[in-house]
Amino acid sequence: MAKRALVTGITGQDGAYLSQLLLEKGYEVHGLVRRSSTADVNTVRLKWLGIDRDVRLVDGNLTDLSGLIRSIREVKPDEVYNLAAQSFVKSSWQQPLLTGSVTGLGVGNILEAVRLEQPDARFYQASSSEMYGLIQEAEQSEETPFYPRSPYAVAKLYGHWLTVNYRESFGLHASSGILFNHESPLRGIEFVTRKVTDGVARIKLGLASELRLGNIDAKRDWGHARDYVIAMWLMLQQDQADDYVVATGRTTTVRDMCRIAFEHAGVEMDAHLVIDPELFRPAEVDVLLGNPAKAKAKLGWEATTSLEDMIREMVDADLKRLKIG
């Protein structure tokens, strides 16, 4: 009998790639989606991967405990992947209470629903490298102290520690993946990598003349979401639940990431890149660099897609989208 998975945030980048992986492994995949009048738009990532007809969508919201209990009761999942969140860091300063309610307290709601209805299910929480914030160590591992620098990171930290607490208090098989930045052609347009690749594609096609960015000297550890969802699945296949850093172990500036995109498109970066002080964060996270040694040793996982290959793939995908549009 096929395993059943319930994926919150199934219409996002990670949810789409994870669903594709689970379907390839023979799972029956159910996805929790918020009720919306723009349902066709929301499933665009699933359609991009050609799996929109293969997943089963369930109405639900992380802020509604009763609805989550009902969804867990109906689906009876073997595995639950909590990927849903208000996940745009910049918006968390403008909507701190919403971010706390969804990204933080929402984790408590889904954990409680699992505990009450399906306590033997294995649970994955999408934690974030943003929790490290003002970094306390040059390389961030599972042992590095956290110092969140945004309402989003604070909310993620609440969800992370609550997952640990439910594991230790109630014996749930609950694991957290502390994922460093992971991107793809399915990344939302508001995130810097996709903003860059879409902007470069528009400039290449004569649809725009400039790309406006904030702090291009910030450094990030970027990997491909398609690689990272494999780590999520591997965590729930372990006998013991645990927390893992998922990263490439390489850090690159936004400036150099931009250079890769512009060079691939054959466009001169300095002629089109504009630094806009309005786009700087109120509290910047200057450097993030993950140490994935534990994931490699215990899960047998490591990133396989280079930053260069990923950015080129994203530029090509945006050129294709814009030409079709």
Quick one: 157 and 265 in the same domain? no
263 and 207 both lie in a single domain: yes
Name the nearest CA neighbour of 221 among 153, 292, 155.
Answer: 292
Same structural domain, 21 and 73:
yes
What type of residue is 185? P
Which pLDDT score, from 0 to 100, does residue 39 have? 56
Q: 178 and 164 in contact (C-beta within 8 Å)?
A: no
Tens-digit pLDDT profile for residues 277-299: 988 878 778 899 999 999 999 99
One domain for residues 59 and 159: yes
Q: What angle do CA 128, 130, 135 make, to 5 degrees?
A: 125
pLDDT band per the 50, 70, 90 thresholds, residue 36? low
Structural domains of the chain, count: 2
Whichever domain contains 97, its CATH number is 3.40.50.720
- With 70 as the cut, is the pLDDT of residue 40 above it? no
Domain that holds residue 210: 188-220+251-288+305-324
Phi, psi values for residue 5, rounded to 5° = -120, 140
pLDDT, tens only, 186-239? 999 989 999 999 999 999 999 999 999 999 999 999 999 999 999 999 999 999
**Quick one: 176 and 204 in the same domain?**
no
CB 122 within 8 A of CB 111: no
169/266 same-domain check: no
Identify whether residues 77 and 149 lie together within a single domain: yes
| Residue 259, φ and ψ in degrees, nearest 5 | -60, -40
pLDDT of residue 284: 78
Considering the domain architecture, whether residues 193 and 134 belong to the same structural domain is answered as no
Q: Are residues 200 and 95 in the same domain?
A: no
Is residue 298 assigned to a domain?
Answer: no
